[in-house]
């Protein structure tokens, strides 16, 4: 119990670190900063720097909420009732770390740096790879994973679909992370969308074909 409590407090601290960083650089920020970016990663809306507190706060609260949700699925999900999962705990930690990193990137971008250009797509690629690494271990549930009528109605369909999806998401994520280091942002956006579509649609089609073979 003490170990879980310590882990929870560490997670909360990680989620709040971007807000601490924002407080530290607050006086060095200009009164008006970029608060929204277009597809080309160029700022398309400027606003008062106080808006950064809302962004940092929302991301921190959402990440903590997702952490507690994933760690308590066994209490609220009928499919996972009474059966906790180490996989969901690891996914919960990963989500918090990802959102904290994203929060840092957003706050740092307000200073006019190119951190958004340099780190957003590598971060997203690593997130996909992380999710793919654990996707094969996700048991049937109503909250996370590839939740289709066919996967929800068959544990075998769920297992095979997530095995394939895990490999695709890991490979696709690593591909995005690597090529984003070399390609310009204007090219990376369609590449990212294309890879995301492929690793999403193939498991869906595969799952449906499995379903048709079983009926």
pLDDT tens per residue across span 53-111: 888 899 999 999 999 988 887 777 676 554 457 888 888 999 999 999 988 888 888 77
Residue 168 pLDDT class (50, 70, 90 cuts) = very high
Q: Same domain, yes or no, for 207 and 164?
A: yes
Number of neighbours of residue 131 by Cβ within 10 angstroms: 21
Q: Same domain, yes or no, for 100 and 141?
A: no
Angle at 158 between CA 152 and CA 163, to 5 degrees: 160
* Residue that is last in its domain, among 69, 89, 113: 113
Q: Which domain holds residue 82?
A: 1-113
Mean pLDDT of the chain, nearest integer: 85
Percent of the chain having pLDDT more than 90?
Answer: 39
Q: Same domain, yes or no, for 64 and 134?
A: no
CA dihedral 25, 29, 35, 39 (to 10 degrees): -90
Q: Same domain, yes or no, for 149 and 172?
A: yes
Nearest to 159 by CA among 92, 84, 210: 210
* Residue that is last in its domain, among 113, 138, 169: 113
């Amino acid at each position: 119990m003490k170990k879980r409590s310590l882990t929870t407090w560490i997670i909360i601290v990680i989620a709040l670190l971007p807000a601490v960083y924002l407080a530290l650089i607050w006086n060095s920020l200009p009164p008006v900063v970029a608060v929204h970016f277009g597809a080309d990663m160029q700022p398309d809306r400027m606003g008062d720097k106080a808006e950064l507190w809302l962004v940092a706060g929302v991301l921190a609260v959402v990440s903590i909420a997702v952490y507690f949700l994933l760690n308590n699925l066994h209490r609220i999900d009928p499919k996972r009732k009474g059966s906790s999962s180490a996989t969901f705990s690891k996914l919960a930690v990963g989500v918090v770390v990802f959102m904290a990193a994203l929060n840092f990137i957003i706050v740092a971008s307000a200073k006019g740096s190119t951190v958004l250009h340099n780190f957003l797509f590598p971060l997203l690629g690593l997130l996909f790879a992380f999710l793919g690494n654990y996707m094969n271990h996700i048991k049937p549930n109503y909250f996370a994973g590839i939740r289709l009528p066919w996967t929800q109605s068959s544990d075998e369909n769920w297992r095979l679909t997530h095995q394939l999806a895990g490999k695709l998401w890991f490979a696709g994520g690593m591909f995005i992370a690597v090529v984003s280091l070399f390609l310009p942002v204007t090219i990376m956006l369609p590449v990212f969308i294309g890879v995301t579509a492929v690793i999403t649609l193939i498991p869906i089609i595969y799952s449906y074909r499995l379903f048709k073979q079983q009926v």
